[in-house]
Amino acid sequence: MTPDVRPLVAGNWKMNGTRECLTEIKAMAEGVQGALSEKVETLICPPATLIYVATALATDSPLQIGGQDCHQKASGAHTGDISAEMIADCFGTYVIVGHSERRTDHGETDHIVRDKAAAAHDAGLTAIVCIGETADQRDAYETLDVLKRQIFGSLPPGATAENTVIAYEPVWAIGTGLTPTATDIAVAHSFMRAELVEFFGDEGRRMRILYGGSVKPANAAELMAIDNVDGALIGGASLKAKDFLAIYGVYEGLTA
Ligand code: PGA
């Protein structure tokens, strides 16, 4: 972890979850409420249909609720999309932008992702900007080039340590049970840190860089101990309160 940076443990439910899953959100909200400290920030990004009810359930808890995507415009003729303002209107505080599934399924480019992050900032949300290489890019030793290109292409000029979080998610590690070695993660995160510092100065030093891709209770401690890993973006293991709280507990332990 980066010294003096408050880690973020964030869950991305993707297209999973109906109203009956709100019991999991309730259990998470209660589970983090009893924490000794608020040294660790927690967040769940459910499907858009659940954001409003989820924020109501988590009102008395430090658990925050966010969106999984937003449109780059505040309103208009964009059937099926939701704006950052709408997420903020539902009391969401974060939004994920540029997840690899959005980049692949919806053809989102760095340019679009940057506009979405700027829209999130305009609405007062913190943007979690996802970047990461594909298996082919890794095999061609292009990982660091890809990260550099995505960082500078996807971050708007107004990005600060408060309104922006980076999530490094190797595409080949998402939902596969595979993770890079600790050394590979350390190399990638220290590279991103250096790039962020070069571009954003002191803000870049404090900007959180999460790791995502097959994070689970069993590997959380090892991942979190790596320099410049300031939290986790968790897919599958964030659907159940038991697993999410176990990962959160590892962070609490490490920051105690
Ligand atoms: P996973 O997903 O934890 O299921 O690998 C991570 C993500 O896509 O954010």
pLDDT score of 219: 96
The yes-or-no answer on residue 169 being catalytic is yes
Contact by Cβ (8 Å): 76, 49: no
Q: Which residues pair with 64 in a beta bridge?
A: 43
Separation of 169 CA from ligand 1 center, angstroms?
A: 8
The CATH class for the domain spanning 64-230+243-254 reads alpha beta
Give the pLDDT confidence score for residue 39 in this predicted structure: 86
- Report domain extents, the chain: 64-230+243-254
Give me the pLDDT at residue 256, please.
Answer: 55
The pLDDT of residue 35 = 63
Neighbours of 197 (CB within 10 A): 15
Phi, psi of 42 (to 5 degrees): -125, 150
Whether 7 and 41 have beta carbons less than 8 Å apart is answered as yes
**Tokens 């404090």, residue located:** 206
Give residue 136's pLDDT: 98
Pocket of ligand 1 (CB under 6 A): 12, 169, 174-175, 212-215, 233-237
CA dist 95 and 48 (Å) reads 11
Q: Which atom of ligand 1 is nearest to the CA of 173?
A: 5
In percent, how much of the chain has pLDDT > 90? Answer: 93
Q: What is the pTM of this model?
A: 0.97
pLDDT per residue over 82-125, tens digit each?
999 999 999 999 999 999 999 999 999 999 999 999 999 999 99
CA-to-CA distance for 137 and 193, rounded, in angstroms? Answer: 20
Q: Indicate the SS3 state at residue 128.
A: strand
Q: What's the confidence (pLDDT) of residue 47?
A: 98
Binned at pLDDT 50, 70 and 90, residue 18 comes out as very high
Res 37 pLDDT > 90: no
Q: Is pLDDT of 178 > 80? A: yes
pLDDT value at 2 more than 90: no
- List the beta bridge partners of residue 45: 12
State yes or no: pLDDT of 36 exceeds 80.
no
pLDDT at 75 over 70: yes
Band of pLDDT at residue 3, cut at 50, 70 and 90? confident
Q: How confident is residue 1, by pLDDT bands cut at 50, 70 and 90?
A: confident
pLDDT of 230 strictly over 90: yes
The residue whose CA is least distant from atom 9 of ligand 1 is 235
Taking CA atoms only, the protein residue closest to ligand 1 atom 1 is 235
